[in-house]
Amino acid sequence: MANMITKDKIDSFIEKIPPAPKILSETVALLNIGELTKAAKIAEGDLALKSYLKNIVNKPIYGFRNEVSDISQIFGILGVSLSQQTVYNYMITLLSPKKWVLFKLNAKSFHELQANLSKKWETILKHLNIDDKNIYAAISLLPASVIVTEALFAEKIDNVNLLRTTKALDFNTILIRLCGVSLFGICEKIAKKWDMDESIAQIIQASSGVKPSRDEKINNLGKWMHLLLFYELSKPEFIEAGLNDFVDFQIEYISDIYDEFASLMGVE
């Protein structure tokens, strides 16, 4: 296809994703070894990070009655794995466009998506008795790949709109047509860019629902993530934003855990 976005173009865009700035990389490294107090002291030096953490943790989904504003208190409440995941989420917001061209999102709705996915993924992992920082961080990749997709599509907005209107294609199909990669493929590229554990890319691919893993543990996590993404992106505001296009619900894939998921999320 003449208007295809080449693999090199995608790779060069992902290459532009900055490595974590010094304060952030030090914070993540300290969280990685469980040093919450030291990590909080370092994180205090980044006012934007501090503001982001305060904003996220005081959202209703976290359920605190009084405002929490001290970073050491925030890290203490979140614990090591969720603190590290929240710092990854902050790194992702540094890439956010000032104005969204394609997806009907803004900073508030994007933060809402991050907070909801993070908190519910934590609920799932606790339910499954999994306490692995790498696996906690996996959920932060989907919002990151939405930003990359927005940037790639913004450059080809006319082509995207044409395919959308004349052929009634969903965004994920358009992404595969124009870029030769799905949203989950972009997630995998970002995971590699950030030197995340190899298993994370496998969980992400399994969560697409169309690339199950032979590894039972990874496949099970893929099922839970698939359900969570479908559940979250099917909310009216994210349907309106165009994000539910990316998860093609695979009912047979998740049938064995559906009731357990519905019960955990309080779905009627």
pLDDT digits (tens, 9 = 90+) for 91-126: 888 888 888 998 999 988 998 898 899 989 999 999
Q: Are 268 and 147 members of one domain?
A: yes
Q: What is the rounded CA–CA span in Å between residue 187 and residue 227? A: 17
Residue 195: pLDDT over 80:
no
Residues 3 and 123 in one domain: yes
Structure tokens at 147: 């930003």
Mean per-residue pLDDT, 116-144: 90
Q: Per the structure block, which two tokens stand in for 143? A: 């919002």
Q: What is the reported pLDDT for 14? A: 76
Residues 74 and 147 in one domain: no
- Neighbour count for residue 194 (Cβ, 10 Å): 20
Residues 77 and 89 in one domain: yes
**Has residue 109 been placed in a domain?**
no
Residue 104 lies in a domain: no
pLDDT at 159: 86
Residues 228 and 121 in one domain: yes
Written as one string, the DSSP assignment of the chain is: -TTPPPHHHHHHHHHHSPPPPHHHHHHHHHHHTT-HHHHHHHHTT-HHHHHHHHHHHTSGGG--SS----HHHHHHHHHHHHHHHHHHHHHHHTT--SS-SSS---HHHHHHHHHHHHHHHHHHHHHTT---HHHHHHTTHHHHHHHHHHHHHHHTHHHHHHHHHHS---HHHHHHHHHS--HHHHHHHHHHHTT--HHHHHHHHHHTSSS--SSHHHHHHHHHHHHHHHHHHTSHHHHHHTGGGG----HHHHTTTHHHHHHHHT--
Q: What is the mean pLDDT of the segment spanning 168-172?
A: 84
Q: Is residue 107 part of a domain?
A: no
Using the 3D structure, point to which of 33, 60, 94 is the last residue of a domain.
94
Average of per-residue pLDDT across 78-98: 85
Is residue 66 over pLDDT 90?
no
Q: What is the pLDDT of residue 218?
A: 94
- Region 24-40: what's the mean pLDDT? 89
- Per-residue pLDDT, 19: 58
**Judgement on whether residues 38 and 153 belong to the same structural domain of the protein:** no
In SS3 terms, 71-90 reads as: HHHHHHHHHHHHHHHHHHHH
Are residues 143 and 85 part of one domain? no
For range 43-54, the mean pLDDT: 90
Same domain, 223 and 144: yes
Domain assignment of residue 99, yes or no: no
Q: Which pLDDT does position 100 carry in this prediction?
A: 93
- Kindly state whether residue 1 falls inside one of the protein's structural domains: yes
Residue 217 scores a pLDDT above 80: yes
Q: What is the pLDDT of residue 18?
A: 58
Q: What is the mean pLDDT of residues 135-149?
A: 88
Q: 42: pLDDT confidence band, cut at 50, 70 and 90?
A: very high
User: Which of 11-15, 33-37, 237-241 has the weakest average pLDDT?
Assistant: 11-15
Residues 233 and 153 in one domain: yes
Residue-wise pLDDT tens digits, 8-23: 777 777 776 655 678 8
Structure tokens that stand for 108 in this block: 């508030």
- Give yes or no: residues 142 and 88 share one domain: no
Residues 238-245, mean pLDDT to the nearest whole number: 90
Domain that holds residue 194: 1-17+116-268
Say if pTM beats, i.e. exceeds, 0.85. no
How many structural domains compose the chain?
2
C-alpha to C-alpha distance for 61 and 28, rounded to whole angstroms: 24
Alpha carbon distances (Å) from 157 to 11, 164, 234, 242: 19, 10, 24, 14
Span 68-84, mean pLDDT?
A: 88
- 268 band by pLDDT with thresholds 50, 70 and 90: low
- Work out the mean pLDDT of the chain and round it to a whole number: 87
Q: Tell me whether residue 240 is in a domain.
A: yes
Please name the residue that has the structure tokens 């099922």.
Answer: 223
pLDDT, mean of residues 48-68: 85
12 and 26 part of one domain: no
Q: Which of 264, 223, 254 is closest to 119 using CA atoms?
A: 264
**6 within some domain:** yes
Residue 80 near residue 14 (C-beta atoms within 8 A): no
Sorting pLDDT into bands at 50, 70 and 90, what band is 137?
confident
Indicate whether 132 and 47 sit together in one domain: no
What is the predicted pLDDT for the residue at 224?
97
Domain presence at residue 195: yes
Last residue in a domain, options 64, 94, 124: 94
